[in-house]
Amino acid sequence: MALVPLSDVLQPALQHGYAVAGLVTLGWEDTRAFVAAAEAEGCPVILQAGPGCREHTPLTVLAAMFRHLADNADVPVVAHLDHGYSMEECRQAIDCGFTSVMYDGSRKPLQQNIDETAAIVAVAHAAGVSCEGEIGFVGYAEGEESHGTVPEEAAKFARETAVDAMAISVGNVHLQSDSVSQLDEARIRQIQLQCDVPLVIHGGSGVTIEQRVHLARTTAICKYNIGTELRMAFGKALRESVNKDAARFDRVSILKDTHEPVMNAARRVMNAIKAS
């Protein structure tokens, strides 16, 4: 299948009460495993190129890799720029062939965030590309503190930007290595009462599987961003591969050992929240 825009996979999720996994990629090995997992589960997958990934690999290379995998997959695949911080960066992703961009203006004053996000939405939509925005600030484990999303501000943001998906801060935290976050369901419901846009949880690794499922089935949460738990699965598999034979030096043979563990970890993520 060809790459599809984010809205193509999130609108059905919103209508039918499930969620789609936005999986944070770092390279060929994990990205290939994510698509294999989606095919095994028979569900869409959102491949996300975050800032760390983009520091290591040019957007043009990532776009070509995502498209190659999508063209040979039998499930919908979204090529998504995660945490774009400027119009220039989002334009570059669109020009490279990404089918979705996320503009992160969450550290900026509300009206500035709205104005800048709306401008990027207009550029994205003109190119047939989806756009995700963020209102409220999702903090980082052992880093910046979160600032919870105000429902009235979320309604204004959704209305004035026309985003296809809206990331919110409701107790979620980036880079959480344990599932200890307890999302504020009451706040989520207040937000969705005031707008009808699909909602996104960044820092999904910190949320228990049980709450992911519950919120996917009963609220407008349609996308969970999952990175840390999959990187942990990759790291564990890589260490085991290296340590099992001190004489091994061929990185291709070593990295091949990560495929099945990462694929299985991604399958567990997808299986819990996909359409039932």
Using one digit for the tens of pLDDT, what is the confidence trace for 179-236? 666 898 999 999 999 999 999 999 888 899 999 999 999 999 999 999 999 999 999 9
| pLDDT value of position 181 | 67
Residue with tokens 């569900």: 43
Instruction: Quote the tokens at residue 219.
Output: 């609220």
133-137, 149-153, 176-180, 209-213: range with lowest mean pLDDT: 176-180
Question: How does residue 276 score in pLDDT terms, banded at 50, 70 and 90?
Answer: confident
Q: What value does the mean pLDDT take over residues 253-270? A: 96
Closest CA to 134 of 101, 169, 109, 162: 169
- Output 248 or 224, whichever has higher pLDDT: 224
Residues near 195 by Cβ (< 8 Å), separated by ≥ 6? Answer: 154, 155, 158, 159, 166
Query: Are 267 and 34 spatial neighbours (Cβ–Cβ below 8 Å)?
Result: no
pLDDT band, residue 174 (cuts 50/70/90)? confident
**In this predicted structure, what is the pLDDT of residue 204?**
83
Domain boundaries of the chain, sorted by first residue:
6-229+260-273
For all residues of the chain together, what is the average pLDDT? 93
Residue 176 has pLDDT above 70, yes or no: no
pLDDT in tens, 35-44: 999 999 999 9
Q: What is the dihedral of CA 86, 92, 94, 97, to 10 degrees?
A: -150
Return the pLDDT at 26: 94
The catalytic site residues sit at 82
At the second CATH level, the architecture of 6-229+260-273 is Alpha-Beta Barrel (3.20)
Mean pLDDT confidence for 68-81 = 98
Query: Given this model, what pLDDT does residue 141 score?
Result: 65
The pLDDT of residue 144 is 67
What average pLDDT score do residues 227-249 get? 92
- Please give the residue that has the higher pLDDT: either 103 or 205: 103
Contacts of residue 175, defined as CB under 8 A and 6 or more positions apart, other chains included, come to: 140, 141, 142, 143, 203, 205, 227, 228
What average pLDDT does the segment 3-11 reach? 98
**Mean pLDDT throughout 22-43?**
97
Percentage of the chain beyond pLDDT 90 is: 84
pLDDT at 166: 98
Answer yes or no: is pLDDT of 133 > 80.
Answer: yes
Percent with pLDDT over 70 in the chain:
95
The residue among 11 and 176 whose pLDDT is bigger is 11
Please say whether the beta carbons of 152 and 136 come within 8 A. Answer: no
Task: Give pLDDT, residue 149.
Answer: 85
pLDDT of residue 259: 97
